[in-house]
Amino acid sequence: MVTAGISLISLAITAKSAKPAVLTLSDDNSVVAFDPNYSINAANNGLILWTVDDVNQLFQNQFWYRIGSQDKESPINNLNLIHLEQSQIGDKQISATYAGRGFEIVFDLTLDGDSEGSGRSNLFENIAIKNISSDKLDFHLFNYTDFDLNNNGTQDTTKIGSNKAEQFDGFTWATEVVEPKATHYQVSPVSTIFDALEDNASTTLNNLPSLLSSGDNAYAFQWDFTLDPEKSFLIKNYKSLKSVPEPTIIPALVALSSLMLLCYLRRWWLFRNKSKLEYSDRTIEVDY
Ligand SMILES: [Ca+2]
Ligand SMILES: [Ca+2]
Ligand SMILES: [Ca+2]
Ligand SMILES: [Ca+2]
């Protein structure tokens, strides 16, 4: 009988000085590393690794918040970590609760990997922000994600809208669906959004549904909402990764495409040389 599965590790932490190590979640072909504590190096906070079949796909996934429209943003693990729960070391679920002035944030994380070698994995993030003060709160929550697909972000393309982000390269496709829709969103070269969330000014994401390729990108969603006393605001983010199918799966289509391309190139070459001959005395060059 395996009894370890029944044991419950529940940590009640009241001071920032109590620092459990980086926690891991694992399920089937996937592993996630999560640092719930505050680190001086902001790039080491939050989710800092997501491997699928032993290949890392994520540089960082982290949350920032702001109260009101004037202040700077702060990472949520700058707050007091008052509760941290994982049923056993390496389990696929973690719950972390942070307390701020007049509010609490409960962050639930669940990893659902797929079969070995499938290239598929899912990550569910539930965030509940509760107003425990007697005043309304003008709350702003940011979720920042820097996927580096196939352990290298420089060839990744990213696009984003108010409830969905997609990132892909030749091997891997990442999708994120958020609920409710974000108020603002942004995709930018990697340090732009991170620097805006870490600087001393109030930040609003730019809502440009950019499509960037051949660069290391990061994206973020921003939710703006007013929270009445004793009320909670819930956000559900669903991130998933899958392998891009090999083109050899459809060899007939590839062969047909190649044949059509050869025919097209031959016609183009004949036309181009004919044009050059006809206009050779006028030195017209046509760019195709
Ligand atoms: Ca699973
Ligand atoms: Ca990236
Ligand atoms: Ca890549
Ligand atoms: Ca800022």
Q: For residue 172, which ligand has an atom nearest its CA?
A: 3
Give the Å distance between the CA of 146 and the centre of ligand 3.
Answer: 11
**Residue among 82, 80, 105, 83 at smallest CA distance from 94:** 83
Give the closest ligand to the alpha carbon of residue 113. Answer: 1
Distance (Å) from CA 236 to ligand 1 centroid: 19
Which token pair is 189? Answer: 């070269």
In the three-class reduction of DSSP (H, G, I as helix; E, B as strand; rest coil), residue 116 is classed as coil
pLDDT for 266: 54
CB 188 within 8 A of CB 203: no
Which ligand has the minimum distance to the alpha carbon of residue 27? 1
CA of 175 to the centre of ligand 3 (A): 14
- CA 212 to ligand 4 center in whole angstroms: 22
Say how many Å lie between the CA of residue 109 and the centre of ligand 1: 14
How far is ligand 4, taken at its centre, from the CA of residue 64, in Å?
Answer: 10
The model's pTM:
0.80
First to last CA, the chain: 71
**HEC secondary structure over 144-169:** EEEECHHHCHHHCEEEECCCEEEEEC
Say whether 51 sits in a helix, a strand or coil: strand
- Model pLDDT for residues 17-38, shown as the tens digit of each residue: 445 679 999 999 999 999 999 8
Q: Which ligand is nearest to the CA of 154?
A: 3
pLDDT digits (tens, 9 = 90+) for 147-162: 999 999 998 999 999 9
Q: Residue 194 is inside which H or E element, if any? A: helix 190-198
Q: Closest-lying ligand to the alpha carbon of 59? A: 2
Identify the nearest ligand to the CA of 190 by its number: 2
Tell me if 138 sits within 8 A of 98, measured CB to CB.
no
Residues counted in the chain: 288
C-alpha 25 to ligand 1 mean position (Å): 12
- Pick the closest to residue 172 from 61, 52, 62, 92 (CA basis): 52
CA 193–ligand 1 middle distance (angstroms): 32
Ligand 2 center to residue 173 CA distance, Å? 13
Question: Average pLDDT for consecutive 10-residue bins of the chain (288 residues)?
Answer: 39 44 95 92 92 98 97 96 96 98 98 98 98 98 97 94 95 97 96 96 92 82 98 98 73 51 52 39 36
